[in-house]
Structure formats: C-alpha cells, structure tokens
Chains A and B, each alone.
Chain A
C-alpha cells in the first residue's frame, strides 16, 4: 500500500475501525458457534442458562457491528471521493472505484453485507418476540455467513487499497459513464423515454402490490426498480442534479458541491429495496407476511422518486426548459 494512501485520514480511520469490527466479529463468531453446537432451549442445565446469557452478548456485538457497518459504508464512499484528489485522472469516486479491477465488486459486497446485517437485525427482533427463540439457529448460521463476508470484505479492502496507485492515471467519470464511455449505452437498447416510463410505472406498481399483499412480487418489482432507478439516475436525473446534460455519474453527487445529496438519494433507494427484499426473505422464513416492512419499502422508494423528480421540476421552474 502506498504510504500516501495509507496516511490519508479517511483510509487510516477506516482501517482502524474495520480492524476493531473484525475483532469483535470474531468474538461473536465464537459465541455463535457455541450456540450452534450446544443450544437446547428445553434444557434446564446451568450450561443452557449461561448460553442464553451469552446469546445476549453475541446479539449485542452483532447489533453493534451492523450499526457500525451502516455508518461505515457512506464513510467509505466519502473516503474514496477524497482519494480522487490523489489519483491522477480521477475527478470523483468513480475513477477511484474503477482504479482496481474489483472495485465495483467490492462495493457490491459491502452493500450485500449491509443487507445481510439488516436482515439479521429484523430476524433477531422476530426471534425475541417469540416465546421459544425459534430462529436462534438460523440467526447463528446467518451470522457465520455474515462473518465470512466480513472476512472477505476486509481482505478485499486491503487488496483494493494496495492496488490503488497515485501514479497510474485512471479514467474520470465522464469517460466511464459519459458519451464516449463503454458503459454509456443503456441496457437492452432502452431509450431515455422508455427508461423513464418504466421507472415511474414500476414505482406506481409498488403501492398496488402492497395493497394486494404480494410480498414476493413486491420484492421482484424492487429488484427491477433497483436497476431501472440506477440507470435513470445516471442517465437522466443525475444530469439535472449537475445541471449539465453531459455529466453522467453516480458518484459526483456525493460531493460537497451538490450538498451531499447523493447519500440521501442512494440511501433511500437502498432502503426501499432492502425493506422489500428483507420482507420477502422473512416471509419465506417465518411464513408470515411482513406488511410493516413492505410499507417502509414503499415509503423509502417514494422518497427516492420524489427526490429524483424534484431536481427535474426545480430545473424546469428555474430555467423554463429541460436539459
């Protein structure tokens, strides 16, 4: 790892915190494995009683871990954004992410980790509400998976930071996402108009699915909405945030110039999709519809859609034309 990159305030803090979390994760893992091996709620042995107490520690650590990871994800994005000042060619986090071949995969992994952590929290809630810890085993297995993801993530973090170079130039976002880039084309040959139509239709579909209590379909719709929303922001709504028709980038909106609006925008989309998918996952596990979560999902997506539309409308009101 180049000293310059290691010595960056954000990178240093990130690595310190990630190390702490990994240590605590390992501690919780030992507890989770013990629970997997010895858990027997019917027993009245001192061992079971002490295991029940221990399960609270495991729970506490995982809750701590998940909340810390939720806070660390935007922090990581912020740090990448800052690294852009050191890496030649990069104007924002886009270039930094692309600076190493698995940069995008790492971001997806991080999101996956947040997702599993969130599901764990919800499952834990259900488990505590029941009278016989019905999900103790599933929870423990899920945590083992989370731990493995965490290990993988930490390894990839280090490899990623090691792979970044302050000498080799990278592409800036206008090349990666812009007119001349390779990822510029919309998938399936969609045009902007079709994309937007799809975007709003999918959004309108969600409250209907909620009313019909179609949890699995809602999750499916959200899965599609994630992709459509992503492309719609990069290719259409983003240009209104930047007020520049050629500026297509999912990362620049995380910067101070745009009042960090990207965090809110992407955060609301992620939450929307998360709640829908988690609801479906829990519905499959618990065999009960998770209406509350589905409702959260619709609200979060509504915030996302409203935010996207706001930039277009406000541009139109200010300038009287569209881009």
Chain B
C-alpha cells in the first residue's frame, strides 16, 4: 500500500545542510498497522508529511497505492491525498468555529460530489466515529474526546485506504486514549492501513499492531 524508497530530506544547502531523513526504505502492506516510534525531532512527522505529499523529498520516492505521490504535480498529489489518505493529528487541527458537519464537509469539496452523496458520506463517517449525535455542534464546544472522534470522522469521510496518525493520544486522558485505540482496532478490522507516529508506549502493547518501526536521527 505504502512504499517508501530511499527517501531523504535535507533542509538548507551546502555546509548548513541539515539532514532530517536519510535513505529511508519502508514497505507497509494493505491492512497492516504499523507504529512509527521515535522521540520528538527524530523525523517521524516529516516522514508522515512526505508520505502524504505535503512535502517534497530531496531524494527518493513515495508510492501510495502504486502511484508515485512524491513525483506528481500538486493537483494530482492533492487528489491522491484526498482519496487515499486520512490524517489524525495531535492537535486535532479542526476548524474550531465550524460545526462537526461543516468540518467533515471540507475534505469532500475537492471531489465535487453532488449534495446527496456528500450527505451520505458525512453520515457514514459520523456513525463510524460514533459522533453522529453532535453533528451540528460547533467544535469549540466539544470535549477533548469528542474532538478526537470528530477528527477521526473527518479522516474517514473520504473513505481512504490509509490513515496516518501523528501523536494521536498526546492530548487525551487515559480513558479517551483507550477509547481511541478501540476505534483504531475497528478501523483495522475494516481493512484500513494504519500508520501511527508516536512516542507513547501504549501502542507497543496493543494486540492489533503488526509492527513497530523505530526511527532515530532520520534513520530506521
């Protein structure tokens, strides 16, 4: 599903060049759940960005569902990201002033779907993330756990094959983190490919995690 080939990322040039990732190679199969473990600054979120085509590699390539996402023009890169990848962030990154429904609308707009299908997709994602009862609540008024579920719903609304999570439990208390992991398990059950970048040891103990990859100073 995700294939990373000889991926490097530097910032700056010449002597001031700072290497963030160095010749990374990684293969994640469909339906696999992989935990990317590393301290902060180890380059794990850069790797996530590169996988989603949010950043361009200095060397190497990333393939998502066979498409070389890192080599495509922005329009197609965005389309790939929109279709295949759902993001869940540490800081949720929701639009605080908008309702849950409106937050879920955002990823659907580039697809130019008819209104009926938009509503169907939103309802389905809300059900799956167990937040349907808060559909018209403004995000600011949600609790931390509800926000997280809203973020999951948004990640699911386009029915992507891959879910990328960046420190998903950092802002959650114990109970909500447990709830979150249960939801992840459901997603895995539904056949999604999961990649979780975290330094939370909680994930290493989970039964549905297939693999733990440790990243250190830009190397695996």
A contacts B directly (C-beta below 8 A): yes
The number of residue pairs between A and B whose CB atoms lie closer than 8 Å in the complex comes to 20
Judge whether A52 and B13 touch: CB under 8 Å. no
Judge whether B57 and A128 touch: CB under 8 Å. no
Q: Which of A44, A46, A132 contacts B73 (CB 8 A)?
A: A132
Q: How far is the CB of B61 from chain A (nearest CB, A)?
A: 9
* Chain A residues with CB below 8 A from B13, complex form: 46
Q: Mark B87-131, 1 if CB is under 8 A from A, else 0.
A: 000000000000000000000000000000000000000000000
Residue B188 at the chain A interface, CB threshold 8 Å: no
Residue A133 at the chain B interface, CB threshold 8 Å: yes
Shortest Cβ distance from A46 into B: residue? B13
Q: Which of B59, B72, B74, B76 contacts A44 (CB 8 A)?
A: B59
Judge whether B75 and A44 touch: CB under 8 Å. no
Q: Which of A41, A44, A56, A128 contacts B58 (CB 8 A)?
A: A44
Judge whether B75 and A128 touch: CB under 8 Å. yes
* Chain A residues with CB below 8 A from B56, complex form: 44, 49
Q: Mark B55-72, 1 if CB is under 8 A from A, else 0.
A: 011110000000000001
Judge whether A131 and B58 touch: CB under 8 Å. no
Q: Count of B residues near A, CB < 8 Å? A: 10
* Chain B residues with CB below 8 A from A52, complex form: 73-74
Shortest Cβ distance from B59 into A: residue? A44
Judge whether B76 and A131 touch: CB under 8 Å. yes
* Chain B residues with CB below 8 A from A133, complex form: 73
Shortest Cβ distance from B13 into A: residue? A46
* Chain A residues with CB below 8 A from B76, complex form: 131
* Chain B residues with CB below 8 A from A44, complex form: 56-59
Q: How far is the CB of A39 from chain B (nearest CB, A)?
A: 12
* Chain B residues with CB below 8 A from A129, complex form: 75
Q: Which residues of A (79-131) have their CB < 8 Å from a CB of B?
A: 128-131
How many angstroms from the CA of A132 to the CA of B75 in the assembled complex? 11
Q: Which residues of A (206-263) have their CB < 8 Å from a CB of B?
A: none
How many angstroms from the CA of A46 to the CA of B14 in the assembled complex? 13
Q: Which residues of B (181-206) have their CB < 8 Å from a CB of A?
A: none
Shortest Cβ distance from B75 into A: residue? A128
Q: Mark A248-287, 1 if CB is under 8 A from B, else 0.
A: 0000000000000000000000000000000000000000
Indicate the member of B13, B73, B75 with the most A CB atoms within 10 Å.
B73
How many angstroms from the CA of A122 to the CA of B180 in the assembled complex? 48
Shortest Cβ distance from A136 into B: residue? B73
Shortest Cβ distance from A133 into B: residue? B73
Q: Which residues of A (299-313) have their CB < 8 Å from a CB of B?
A: none
How many angstroms from the CA of A44 to the CA of B72 in the assembled complex? 11
Q: Which residues of A (33-81) have their CB < 8 Å from a CB of B?
A: 41, 44, 46, 49, 52, 56
How many angstroms from the CA of A131 to the CA of B13 in the assembled complex? 28
Q: How far is the CB of A311 from chain B (nearest CB, A)?
A: 40
* Chain A residues with CB below 8 A from B74, complex form: 52, 56
Q: How far is the CB of A55 from chain B (nearest CB, A)?
A: 9
Q: How far is the CB of A123 from chain B (nearest CB, A)?
A: 15
Q: How far is the CB of B133 from chain A (nearest CB, A)?
A: 41
Q: How far is the CB of A153 from chain B (nearest CB, A)?
A: 32
* Chain A residues with CB below 8 A from B58, complex form: 44, 46
Q: How far is the CB of B11 from chain A (nearest CB, A)?
A: 9
* Chain A residues with CB below 8 A from B72, complex form: 131
Q: How far is the CB of A179 from chain B (nearest CB, A)?
A: 56
Q: How far is the CB of B58 from chain A (nearest CB, A)?
A: 6
* Chain A residues with CB below 8 A from B57, complex form: 44
Q: Which residues of A (129-149) have their CB < 8 Å from a CB of B?
A: 129-133
Shortest Cβ distance from A128 into B: residue? B75
* Chain B residues with CB below 8 A from A56, complex form: 74
Indicate the member of A41, A56, A131 with the most B CB atoms within 10 Å.
A131
How many angstroms from the CA of A13 to the CA of B189 in the assembled complex? 65
How many angstroms from the CA of A153 to the CA of B72 in the assembled complex? 38
Q: How far is the CB of A170 from chain B (nearest CB, A)?
A: 52
Shortest Cβ distance from A45 into B: residue? B58
Q: How far is the CB of B14 from chain A (nearest CB, A)?
A: 12
Q: How far is the CB of A291 from chain B (nearest CB, A)?
A: 21
How many angstroms from the CA of A52 to the CA of B71 in the assembled complex? 12
Q: How far is the CB of A285 from chain B (nearest CB, A)?
A: 18
Shortest Cβ distance from A130 into B: residue? B73
Shortest Cβ distance from B58 into A: residue? A44
How many angstroms from the CA of A49 to the CA of B58 in the assembled complex? 10
How many angstroms from the CA of A227 to the CA of B56 in the assembled complex? 52
How many angstroms from the CA of A44 to the CA of B76 in the assembled complex? 17
How many angstroms from the CA of A274 to the CA of B75 in the assembled complex? 27
How many angstroms from the CA of A56 to the CA of B78 in the assembled complex? 15
Q: Mark B21-59, 1 if CB is under 8 A from A, else 0.
A: 000000000000000000000000000000000001111
Q: Chain B: residues with CB nearer than 8 A to chain A?
A: 13, 56-59, 72-76
Supply 7 further A-B pairs (C-beta < 8 A) apart from A46-B58, A52-B73: A44-B56, A56-B74, A128-B73, A129-B75, A130-B73, A131-B73, A131-B76
Sampled A-B contacts (15; CB under 8 Å)? A41-B73, A44-B56, A44-B58, A44-B59, A46-B58, A49-B56, A52-B73, A56-B74, A128-B73, A128-B75, A130-B73, A131-B72, A131-B76, A132-B73, A133-B73
